[in-house]
Structure 1
Amino acid sequence: MTQPFRDFAAVRAAALTLLAPDADMMAAARERDLQLTKPTGALARLEDCVFHLAAWQRRAIPRLDNIHIAIFAGNHGVAARGVSAYPAEVTVQMVANFERGGAAINQLARLHGATLSVAALELNRPTEDFSVAAAMTEADCLAAINAGATAVPSSCDLLVPGEMGIGNTTTAAALAAALYGGNAASWVGPGTGVNGDALASKIGVVDAALGFHAAWLGDPLEALRRVGGRELAALFGAVLMARLKSVPVLLDGFVVGAAAAVLARLNPTGLEHCLAGHVSAEPGHRRLLAELGKPALLDLGMRLGEGAGAAVAIGLLKAAVACHAGMATFAEASVSQRG
């Protein structure tokens, strides 16, 4: 299969030559909204979601018939530092659970009629411990970016990226700090449930990584390569390719957000095609969404990962689209408009 990006230079070039939203289709959706049998603005953020989908799907009445959930799994060398409450082999076990249909994301995909793909990224070859070395070579990082990019269907109405990887909230915290500044304590959270001395150790590992790689962290792609992971690189590749294909994206939690933030740092308009499905219980996620300027659709205290929070938010988007597409206009319903 031909890989979308031959090198980091091609990735950078793509990030700087992004499609803009379709202003005409957004305007048409707004005009239709003004004619529907409700007070102007009465559906509030649901209306904003419709306008967003219309602009990126490039049609005045958006659809959600073809939703794809793409999960990427990776293993992290830094997990050997005890940064997670679970052992690294859980990544492989959960991938098998996804493939058997036994995880939460499988039930949510089924509920919404979404297709689901799972890409296991060299789980038998964890990244390097990023506190003492670069997590990935450029070739490894590029391969993961391309794995994400090739997972995006061209005909998709909505992409929901998800992840699995023991230790990846540590990685997300390091990457967020690299991209937006601050020390480890301002980004690191409990992840799978570490606290006390284990949480202090996790913070120390991220601070060590930030110090070790400090000279290179001004470059978002280098930050991804040095303190990221394969699944984060794949998530970045998927979000970038979705933009190149004008596919709207519903972001999940802290790990997905940190990966997507690489595109935002390469291009300030890079995440215009994305909505934030939810804000997780991981403390750094709320801060990250503020940096990205992405208010979450849901705040349920979830911390599962695997795309689950965003998948729950699909229901809100479906409600928004159903109202926009199915409501009668004032003329059709013979209802008087406001004078």
Structure 2
Amino acid sequence: MRGLKAAVLVVFVAVLLVACLPRGGEATYSQLFGGGVVDNVTVNSKDASYEFGEERISVVLLSSGEAEFNIFLSVKNIGSENVSLFSFIIELTDISNLSVVNLSAPLYSEPKLELRRYDAVIYVETLIPPGETGNFSASFTTGQVVLDLYSYCQFLFSEKFEVNAGKFIFDVWLPPRCFLYNEGVVPISPEPTSNFTDGERLVFRWEYENLQAGEYKTFVLRYSSITTNEPGLGVAILPFPVYFSWEWGILAGGLVAVAGVTLGVALFKKRRREEFSEVVFPLLSDAEREVLRLLSDSGGVMSQKEIEKSTGYSKAKVSITVNSLEKKGLVEKEARGRTKIVKLTSKVKT
């Protein structure tokens, strides 16, 4: 008899525990926020659904290797119940200084950050009625998106859309005094929609519309900083686009030639000799910049033989490099008997 009573008691306790557990793997407000505004509403309610009308991510890369993320989310309630909690998944596990600001909808508690094995979930407790939109801004710092590969740095970030997004804009700001690295690698992928500069940093932008839940976007940039062993060398960043889409075809060729002349203008400080100021221009290779530096240090004139000797480059490489600089309007060639002379153009000299 006692055994029967014990068995009944065990079954009763088991049924009670099952009844108290949240169903379908859903997390309740009390689990996430310790008893929020509505304590019994679940995160994944079938009647409370939303999409992102607009999502903007701006990533500012720092010289330290860290990155500052600034995210704008426009959350649209497309369900029949209030959206009391929404989440945003980001494929990073190193997140610090998280902050969420409400722009047009209430915040009822501090955002909660759940770090998982491969990503993180940001939970925001709010109240968005059916058919309404709530705007929010989030920011944080991470050291996980930039990899130092010695000769250049690589930025890599992926975004998987858990809900539909009507519009998605992604910006990457390179650190000051940095340019795209294109020595034997693809400098940027995918092709950006546009690019610009604030006079100090190069900025690349991607824009997409009508993204569906489950879609995936990956962004890669390879960049390098300008370094020099000589004092007095500066950086000139001019405020108009410096990266051109391959789809521009022949038009891009003409624009590159014009940009080569314009962006090739350097800052010189006159003392006993003119000093060359490097140009942040992604289409200039390391070899081209080295030849320009040598010409500047030599008073603006050198023979190709002298360039070969000073750089250690082969005759063919020097010839290709000089021809490329000539097409961009940065140097001009002159034949003196059998000697080929290379000179900086008036666009570069002062």
Confirm or deny a common fold (TM above 0.5): no
The answer to which structure has the higher helix fraction is 1
Greater Cα radius of gyration, structure 1 or 2: 2
Using the size of structure 2 for normalisation, the TM-score is: 0.22
The answer to which structure has the higher strand fraction is 2
Using the size of structure 1 for normalisation, the TM-score is: 0.23
